[in-house]
Amino acid sequence: MSKIVVVGSYVVDLTARTPHMPKPGETVLGGPFRMGPGGKGGNQAVAAARLGAEVTMVTKVGKDLFGEDAIQNFKKEGIQSEYVQQVEEESTGAALIAVDDSGENMIVVSLGACGTITEEEVLRAEDAFREADIILVQLETSMAAIETTITLANKLTKPVILNPAPYQKFPEELLHKVTYITPNETEAGLLTGVEVTGEATAQEAAEKLIAKGVETVIITLGKQGCYLQQTGENNGRLIPGYQVKAVDTTGAGDAFNGAFAHFIAEGNSLESACTLANHIAALSVTKHGTAPAMPYLDELHKQ
């Protein structure tokens, strides 16, 4: 069984369907409305746990109704929540999500408590880091949490996945300590200045990230799949995606990251882990929601 520590966000997803995305000043009659667990960290933790990983979550929530729901959700999913802090002074984060009839989405995230995770709160989880096969972190939390996670993983010689989403500026020297980086097209562009539109531009962006010190670059390309390149390779390669009818693309990147962490920690090759993660991401977009849409292992085997 793979052992994964996820350091990152937990927010409540407040999702409404809409026939089209509102223009500035426009009110659209939509529905239905759904509320459920979310946040990139929480989603990725659920994705890995449902595939059979032993997952420890490091995050922070408020002492409020949403925070209580978070603890109960982690327990339900079998995720270790010893390092999930509940605090009085901050509310649990929330994401306001609109999903249109084509399955595309727009999201505004208010991080709340998980945006205030401190260095000390990450360091409390050092024992879990020691036992882990891999560490997974995103940019949807405080910079103190991100820097401490990557530094501690390096100190303990643990491989670390950085999912640079949602993009925010961070110290570039951290890239020398990252084993895998998993941007989507937009994030790869913001990291490198290359507009990623397909395989050729993904290769250009990947080469720039390799030059910045990352060992392995995986650029997710939606339904096209992902582009994989490692240090020392002259050329990377496109790992094809799976064609499905998407009903909600929210959380597809989180499904990919949680799945990739699990499959690479289990000893799969890079190409195999990416192929399996592409499949899990594709399955996730055939359902509504984020964490609730994460597939179980038996769904993968049924395909």
Q: Is 127 annotated as a binding residue?
A: no
Q: Is 216 annotated as a binding residue?
A: no
Q: Is 201 annotated as a binding residue?
A: no
Q: Is 179 annotated as a binding residue?
A: no
Asked if 288 and 34 count as a contact pair (C-beta separation under 8 A), the reply is yes
Q: Is 73 annotated as a binding residue?
A: no
Q: Catalytic residue among 69, 100, 254, 298, which?
A: 254
Q: Is 39 annotated as a binding residue?
A: yes
Q: Is 169 annotated as a binding residue?
A: no
Q: Is 241 annotated as a binding residue?
A: no
Q: Is 52 annotated as a binding residue?
A: no
Rg of the chain (C-alpha set)? 18
279 token code pair = 């499949």
Within 8 A by CB and 6+ apart from 72, the residues are none
Q: Does the active-site annotation cover 101? A: no
Q: Is 100 annotated as a binding residue?
A: no
Q: Is 88 annotated as a binding residue?
A: no
Give me the amino acid identity at 86.
Answer: Q
Q: Is 63 annotated as a binding residue?
A: no
What is the C-alpha separation between 218 and 184, in angstroms, rounded? Answer: 8
What is the C-alpha separation between 2 and 90, in angstroms, rounded? Answer: 33
What is the C-alpha separation between 293 and 250, in angstroms, rounded? Answer: 9
Q: Is 268 annotated as a binding residue?
A: no
Q: Is 140 annotated as a binding residue?
A: yes
User: Which residue ranges make up the annotated binding site for ATP?
Assistant: 184, 220-225, 253-254, 278
User: Which residue ranges make up the annotated binding site?
Assistant: 11-13, 39-43, 140, 184, 220-225, 248, 250, 253-254, 278, 284, 287, 289
User: Which residue ranges make up the annotated binding site for substrate?
Assistant: 11-13, 39-43, 140, 254
Catalytic residue set: 254
